[in-house]
A = this chain, B = another copy of it.
Amino acid sequence: MLQSKLFAKTRREDPKDEVAKNAKLLIRAGFIHKESAGVYAFLPLGLKTLNKICQIIREEMNTLGAQEVQLTALQAPELWQKTDRWSDDKVDNWFKTELKSGGELGLGFTHEEPFAAIMSENVSSYKDLPLAVYQIQTKFRNELRAKSGIIRGREFLMKDLYSFHTNEKDLDEYHLKVRQAYENIFQRLGIADRTFFTFASGGVFSEFSYEFQTLAEAGEDLIYVDQEQKIAVNKEVYTTEVLAKQNLDKTKLKECQSIEVGNIFKLGTRFSEALGLDFVTESGERQPVVMGSYGLGPSRLMGVLAEILSDDKGLIWPLAVAPMALHLISLDQDEVALRLLTDLESAGIEALFDDRAVSAGEKFADADLLGLPYRVVVSAKNLATNQLEIKNRQSGAVEFIPVLELVAWAEKNLRP
């Protein structure tokens, strides 16, 4: 792709109305646009990265055997009244709106209720269970403050998975599979080493909920990490009893700031009882379905990557989610660079060629800001010895390869 054709321009200056690093960098790089506080549009490069994150999540959910659906943002009160989550006294982040034809609707901040209701129309027997359903869908939360960029938005993308079981034991086993799928996702996103399975408050649902917390200076959460066991405890349940229960030694724990990137709730029968989601057992009894829910925010994950995988020059994308892998920069060798771009694209390898009429310094600064994994410099000096310079954005390592081997190098190094 030609950089001159990308409509979203880079910016030298930080936006004045942002405090979060992720928002500052992503706006400067032209990945996102701020619509209002906590509300961000995704521009071409940003949408490519967001879609790649979604696709990784989708693949892992499909491997689990979960079925993808798409529920709605607009929510009628009836279902939520049954679980006592409609009132603003009970849930403090609803966006509510009025129907012209009369009556109120809310904008979904989560979807336990509608999922339980849909299942109540489709599940009748133990033979229908277990099953798991997920969506990657836009959620709305009426946050009082929204200063964390795309890490905590008022409108954001969420992958929410719900599982349905005949009993608690089956749910317990299934949640371990989801835990593994989440770990696969963090591995593929390059944040597994600093992401910890964390015990947190179960709220009204159960003793604990489980979170995945990624270490980050900008984190809103405080956790106590056991590096060896790769386990952590959220401050909200950091008590002597809990540590004892989880076999954790207080002296080995390290206090860290972190960002919640995923969660798991064992919901039990709270929603199925309220919404009439039951099934007939093998012996003919009617019982409520046991539910679990599992959240993961693709746009939040993108914000976390921008926050923790970046330096003072700009973003640093892992290969798996970079909008493209290669940034071609020519120093007065546009024709050669354009030919290389054509060769790469013919081989199905996406690259960005900076064909803009700007200085070399500006091109290098923008390449660092955009953070594509490899920068390829085409210069008269290197062409004299038939070489290209390839620089790894993350490590800074530089290598030289013969010009004609670029496609072969890319096929070897850039395939997932």
Contact = CB atoms under 8 A, between A and B. Distances in A.
Question: Interface range on chain A: under 10, 10 to 19, 20 to 34, or 35 or more?
Answer: 35 or more
Nearest to A9: B122
A93 B100 contact: yes
Contacts of A74: 35-36, 39, 140, 154-155
Q: Which secondary structure dominates chain A's binding surface?
A: mixed
B7 A122 contact: yes
Interface stretch (A141-149, A331-339, A377-385): A141-149
Given A36-B76, A97-B96, A42 B67 contact: no
Interface string A68-84: 11111111100000000
Interface in A99-124: 99-101, 105, 107, 114, 118-119, 121-123
Given A122-B7, A144-B101, A70 B93 contact: no
A238 to B, nearest CB: 29
Nearest to A40: B72
A191 to B, nearest CB: 23
Contact of A105 (B36, B76, B98, B131): B36
A147 to B, nearest CB: 11
Contacts of A76: 35-36, 39
A8 interface: yes
A290 interface: no
Given A35-B72, A67-B6, A154-B74, A41 B118 contact: yes
Contact of A47 (B30, B47, B70, B128): B70
A33 interface: yes
Given A118-B33, A131-B7, A144 B73 contact: no
Contacts of A71: 35, 41
A114 B68 contact: no
A50 interface: yes
A306 B5 CA distance: 39
A7 B144 contact: no
Give the top 6 A-B pairs by smallest Cβ distance, nearest first.
Answer: A36-B76, A42-B70, A41-B71, A95-B97, A44-B67, A97-B97
Given A36-B105, A39-B76, A43-B69, 20 more contacts: A5-B65, A7-B67, A7-B122, A7-B123, A7-B128, A30-B122, A33-B121, A36-B76, A41-B118, A44-B68, A47-B70, A50-B70, A72-B155, A73-B140, A93-B100, A95-B97, A97-B107, A97-B142, A99-B154, A100-B143
